[in-house]
Structure formats: C-alpha cells, structure tokens
Amino acid sequence: MTYAEGIRAGFGYLFKTYPNVFAIGQGLWSPWYVGASMTDLDKEFGRERVIDSQVSELSTTGAAVGASLFGYRPIVIHPRIDFMLLAVDQIVNQAAKWHHMLGGQVSPSLVIRAIINRGGEQGAQHSQALHSWFAHIPGLRVVMPATATDARDLLIAATLSNDPVLYIDDRWLYDWDDEATPIVELDLARQGPLVRRQGTDLTIAAASFSVRLAMQAAEELAKQGISAEVVDVRVLNPIDPAPIVESVRKTGRLLAVDGGWRTCGFAGELLALASESLPSSTWKSPPRRVTLVDAPAPTSKPLEDAYYTKASDVVAAAQSLI
C-alpha cells in the first residue's frame, strides 16, 4: 500500500462506516484526484458526500466548522497548505478556541487536511511547509503521518476525534509504500512518537517526509558503523516528548531534521524539549538540527537542488555529532 493509497483507504473506511462524514475542497472531482489520494470517491460514495467546492478556502473551512456543530464529521481538503492561510481565522480564531471559550459545551470536530507541495519548480508561494505555525496553536491537534499505514489510520483517528485536527500530508511521500495491515480505530489522544529504527549512537527525530530522509541516512550511517535510532514524531501538537527524551538518554546525541525553516521552527522545539528534560551529563555532544535555510523556495531546478535537504545532509550532520 502506498501512502496515497493509504489516504484513499482511510477515506473509504470512513465513508462506509460513518454516514456523518463528508469531504469538501477544491478539485475533488478532477482527474487529478488530489494526487490520486481520493480517486473515484465521488463516484463510489456520491457527490453529496464528496463535494468539489468553489475556490474559497475561507468559506469551505467555515462551512465545515459550522457543520461540525450539527453532528457532522467534515474533512476539509486544502490541496496546497499555502492557500489555506486564507482560512486561518476559521482555524485559529474559531475552531481551535471554541471548546475553551464556551466551557466545553461545543467542540468543532473536523479535520483540516493540508498538503505540502514542494519542488517541481513551483516557486515560493506553492512550496511551503507551515506545520510549525499551526503546532504553536493550543486547541488544535496537528498530525503529520510519515508512513502509508499512519496516513490511513491517523486520518481515521483524526476524523473520529472530538477536537479540530490539522492533518498534514506531503506529496513527496505519496509513492512510499509499506505492508498493508488491518485497519484499527485509534484514539488520537493516545498517539505519539514511535521509534522506527533502533540505534545506540545517536537519535534522529523527525516528522513526515523528514522521517524518510532520516531512515535513508540511518541506512548509510550503518554502513559506516554508526547506529542511528530514528524517532517519528507523528503528532506535533500536543507533543509527547517522552519517547524522544528516552531515546536521547540512551544515545546521548540528538539530531532534529525538519522540512521547515530554521528560525522558530519545529526542529528547534525538538532540541528544546530534549535539552530541558536531560541533565548536561547525558549529552555526548551538543544537539544539532537540519532544516531549510531561512529563505523562500526558489523556482529554478538547480537552486531547488541546493535548497532542499537531502539524506546526504543528514548523514553529514550525524557524522559531526559522533
């Protein structure tokens, strides 16, 4: 099962099992089918449940927030997280706040699916990974699946959660596959970081596509006799630091890898969480992070090759810690 097939399977399960689930967003009936992650869902389950909306991020998100208060479980799809910024008021000022402001009497139970589309010479307005922004918001759960199984099962868990959830997928993962397992309905509140690869020399912590880079780097490091443990964060907010801290307690070294920018970014948060939790005697070398440089994405292919992090960058940073 590929990552895209995992997302499609998650939608299929939800539509079959829960009649109050519907999806709304741009391009849901198009031949593109959101990168083949929603192929033919409209034909199988009807266009009253798979709604191809007008080009208005604000109105579609607002409609979903409202529908959630009347018992529906909407999933809003924003094919580019960049333009989801037009709906930030509905997400940050409304959905994330109401449970707190209204004494728990209401809770917008919706999923906002945001997709990162980097590379391909798309330029600075179509290539942003803005997960750090939203992970900063209390009241908004933020998940970033890295595997096909998580792409399916975390979508289901997010939709069944009573809280607003931002589900972020990265198109660079769509062809990454893993063995399909039976669907298990997970409690999103109980999900957190998982160790994807055991190691003893250093910890590499990452989420989403950066997990793929970390796994590739770990393979290369193993050839050099360096044992890297890879921790997939999975849930960025609220984050459970315990698995990351325990891994660093064992290895004494931490490398955070993130597909966002460096300043005030998610990699910096991972370093802070571990540094605050462990005494100085634990550390065998200062923690490091690998991120994008603090610059908008370029458009030309040669500049993109220099701009985006590669597994070789992760390997080089890990070597510097040993």
Model confidence band, residue 64 (pLDDT cutoffs 50, 70, 90): very high
Tell me, what DSSP letter sits at residue 297? P
Using the predicted structure, report yes or no on whether residue 203 has a pLDDT greater than 90: yes
Q: Return the biggest CA–CA distance within the chain.
A: 60
Which tens digit of pLDDT belongs to each residue from 157-174? 999 999 999 999 999 999
- What proportions of the chain, in percent to the nearest 5, are helix, strand and coil? 45, 20, 40
- Measure the CA–CA gap between 305 and 294, rounded to whole angstroms: 16
Instruction: Give the pLDDT of residue 273.
Output: 97
Residue range 140-148: mean pLDDT, rounded:
98
| Residues ≥6 apart with Cβ < 8 Å to 254 | 202, 203, 205, 244, 248, 270, 271, 274, 287, 288
Q: Both tokens of residue 272?
A: 């802070």
pLDDT of residue 32: 87
With cut-offs at 50, 70 and 90, classify the pLDDT of residue 180: confident
Buried b (16+ CB within 10 A) or exposed e, 58-86: eebbbbbbebbeeebbbbbbbbbbbebee
Q: Mean pLDDT over residues 299-316, rounded?
A: 96
pLDDT > 90? residue 120: no
pTM: 0.96
Q: What is the H or E stretch that residue 51 is in? A: strand 50-52
Pairing of strands 228-232, 194-197: antiparallel
CA terminus-to-terminus distance, the chain: 36
Is the model's pLDDT at 5 over the cut of 90? Answer: yes
pLDDT at 172: 95
119 pLDDT more than 90: no
How large is the average pLDDT for residues 304-316?
97
Q: What percent of the chain has pLDDT over 90?
A: 93
Specify which residues 204 forms β-bridges with. Answer: 230, 255
Contact assessment for residue 283 and residue 218, using Cβ atoms and an 8 Å cutoff: no
What is the tens place of the pLDDT at every residue in 233-274?
A: 999 999 999 999 999 999 999 999 999 999 999 999 999 999
Identify the three-state secondary structure at position 122: coil
Read off the pLDDT band of 121 (50, 70, 90).
confident
As given in the structure block, the two tokens for residue 315 are 């390997």
User: Residues 152, 184: contact at Cβ < 8 Å?
Assistant: no
pLDDT digits (tens, 9 = 90+) for 29-55: 998 898 899 999 999 999 999 999 999
* Pairing assessment for the beta strands 194-197 and 50-52 based on DSSP bridges: unpaired
